[in-house]
């Protein structure tokens, strides 16, 4: 596979040439293109003089699948990574104040030399590709780039490509699916965030658009019935097939479970997804073994992670681009 020769290279120049007021809004726009759980877009942004704040939007939390808001804060970390890349491209030196003592992320911006790069160019192209992949291994040189990705303090990447180890991962994904799809609260929450047709998707500009997963558009009553009637083993078999079509998987870990660790986890997740995008590698989450509380410790032990805590499970490989999930306009996420 050849590295993508991005069609949008002009966006770096546009960012640099924007007036300061427009630049700040553009920083937020790029932040909103980040990966996030269920495409809930659980964030709000405050723009002040030389400062951007990223706040959690708890009205968009997922109490069934994410009762402790772990994935919500990881989503904010993904948005932070995009914002930092956009800020550097626009000619700012960003300084991050992590949410150790406050319930938001603060980014202080000072003027600097613009530093455009391929990860910034990858932001509008990145997607969570939920289809089956082509089963081909990632090129050695590309895999080396992924393994050498710069990390955040306390965050680690654990790549799995060995078929035997992949089958072990699949077993835990299966167990997670069996638990989640037997849980009515989980199914109801999932259905609430699925947009079963284009009309629904464009009415909300959020949620899991069915076309992005390769599923046909249906009326809500029919789509709801389909998901509600999905047997746990059906979902387990479907995700096992997707995992076996992948070149590998990666577990993202952190040394602790707190808001700052989750934010840093999100930064590394987004950074990795953008690097994969730059290499024409697709990726998608399969977080079931981590989302099901009873499985998380077992998965940690089985994968030989030691004291490192699993935060995300991502599969990767080569596949065709799928339709993108929609994002809300910037004016809807500004405080």
Burial class of 312 by CB neighbour count within 10 A (0 to 12, 13 to 18, 19+)? buried
Q: Is the pLDDT assigned to residue 6 strictly greater than 50?
A: no
Helix locations, the chain, DSSP H: 10-17, 20-31, 70-90, 118-122, 140-147, 163-180, 184-193, 198-204, 220-228, 232-244, 259-278, 288-291, 293-302
Closest CA to 79 of 36, 50, 124: 36
User: What pTM value is reported for the model?
Assistant: 0.94
pLDDT tens for residues 285-329?
999 999 999 999 999 999 999 999 999 999 999 999 999 889 999
pLDDT attached to residue 201: 95
Instruction: Look over the chain and give the mean of its residue pLDDT values, rounded to a whole number.
Output: 94
pLDDT above 90 as % of the chain = 90
Query: Which backbone phi and psi does 16 adopt, to 5 degrees?
Result: -65, -35
Q: What is the pLDDT of residue 7?
A: 38
Distances (CA, A) of 294 to 46, 66, 233, 304: 37, 14, 19, 17
CATH of domain 10-126+324-332: 3.40.109.10
**pLDDT at site 13:** 60
Q: Helix, strand, coil: what percent of the chain each, to 5?
A: 50, 15, 35
pLDDT tens digits for range 95-150: 999 999 999 999 999 999 999 899 999 999 999 999 999 999 999 999 999 999 99
Q: What percent of the chain has pLDDT over 70?
A: 94
Pairwise CA distance, residues 23 & 91, whole Å: 10
pLDDT of 19 over the 60 cut: no
Of 232 and 21, more confident:
232
Which regions of the chain carry the CATH code 3.40.109.10?
10-126+324-332, 140-317
Mean pLDDT of 249-265: 98
pLDDT at 214 over 90: no
In the predicted model, is pLDDT for residue 18 greater than 80? no
- Cβ contact 233:178 at 8 Å: yes
Residue 8 has pLDDT above 50, yes or no: no
φ/ψ of 34, rounded to 5, equals -75, 160
Q: Any bridge partners for residue 155, and if so which?
A: 254
Residue 9 has pLDDT above 50, yes or no: no
Distance CA 109, CA 70 (A): 27
**What would the two tokens of residue 71 be?**
């994935």
pLDDT of 2 above 90: no
Assess if CATH 3.40.109.10 describes domain 140-317.
yes
Confidence of residue 187 (pLDDT cuts 50, 70, 90): very high
Name the band, by pLDDT with cuts 50, 70 and 90, for residue 5: very low
């Amino acid at each position: 596979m050849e590295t993508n020769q991005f069609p949008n290279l002009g966006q770096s120049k546009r960012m640099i040439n924007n007036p300061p007021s427009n630049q700040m809004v553009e920083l937020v726009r790029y932040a909103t293109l980040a990966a996030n759980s269920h495409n809930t877009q659980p964030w709000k942004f405050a723009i002040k003089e030389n400062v951007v704040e990223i706040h959690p939007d708890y009205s968009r939390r997922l109490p069934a699948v994410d009762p402790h808001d772990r994935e919500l804060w990881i989503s904010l970390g993904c948005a932070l990574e995009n914002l930092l890349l956009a800020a550097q491209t626009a000619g700012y030196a960003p300084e991050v104040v992590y949410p150790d003592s406050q319930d938001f992320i603060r980014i202080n911006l000072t003027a600097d030399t613009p530093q455009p790069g391929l990860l910034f160019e990858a932001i509008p192209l990145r997607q969570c590709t939920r289809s089956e992949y082509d089963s081909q291994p990632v090129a050695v040189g590309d895999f080396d780039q992924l393994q050498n990705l710069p990390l955040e303090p306390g965050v680690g990447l654990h790549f799995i490509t060995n078929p035997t180890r992949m089958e072990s991962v699949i077993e835990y994904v299966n167990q997670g699916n069996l638990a989640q799809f037997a849980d009515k609260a989980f199914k109801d929450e999932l259905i609430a965030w699925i947009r079963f047709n284009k009309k629904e998707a464009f009415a909300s500009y959020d949620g899991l658009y069915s076309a992005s997963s390769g599923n046909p558009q249906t009326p809500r009553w029919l789509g709801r019935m389909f998901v509600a009637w999905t047997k746990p083993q059906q979902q387990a078999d479907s995700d096992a097939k997707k995992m076996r079509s992948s070149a590998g998987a990666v577990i993202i870990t952190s040394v602790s479970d707190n808001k700052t660790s989750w934010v840093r986890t999100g930064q590394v997740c987004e950074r990795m997804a953008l690097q994969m995008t730059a290499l024409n590698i697709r990726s998608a989450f399969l977080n079931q073994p981590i989302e099901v509380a009873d499985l998380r410790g077992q998965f940690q032990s089985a994968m030989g992670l030691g004291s490192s805590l699993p935060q995300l499970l991502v599969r990767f490989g080569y596949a065709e681009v799928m339709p993108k999930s929609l994002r809300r306009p910037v004016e809807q996420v500004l405080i």
